[in-house]
Amino acid sequence: MATWLITGAGSGLGRETARYAIENGDQVAVTSRSKEKLQNLVELAPERVLPLALEVTEPASRKNAI
């Protein structure tokens, strides 16, 4: 089992990458500006998906997520 940290998982390539990792049984920390956008990923495997709010352009947000 691998562990992933995926930024931009609220949509697009980030979301599809997260879905791939989850479907393969990996642990995934998913990030988006809004945690609400990540809820359907959490529902796929609540025990293996950690949703985090992250704005990559803000140092305080990066620090909190890490």
29-to-25, 39, 60 alpha-carbon distances in Å: 13, 12, 18
The whole-number pLDDT of residue 30 equals 98
Q: How would DSSP label each residue in the chain?
A: --EEEETTTTSHHHHHHHHHHHHTT-EEEEEES-GGGGHHHHHH-TTTEEEEE--TT-HHHHHHH-
Give per-residue pLDDT as tens, 9-50.
999 999 999 999 999 999 999 999 999 999 999 999 999 999
pTM here is 0.90
CA–CA dist 60, 16 (Å, integer): 27
Tally the domains of the chain. Answer: 1
Answer yes or no: is pLDDT of 55 > 90. yes
**Full residue range of the structural domain in which residue 8 is found:** 3-65
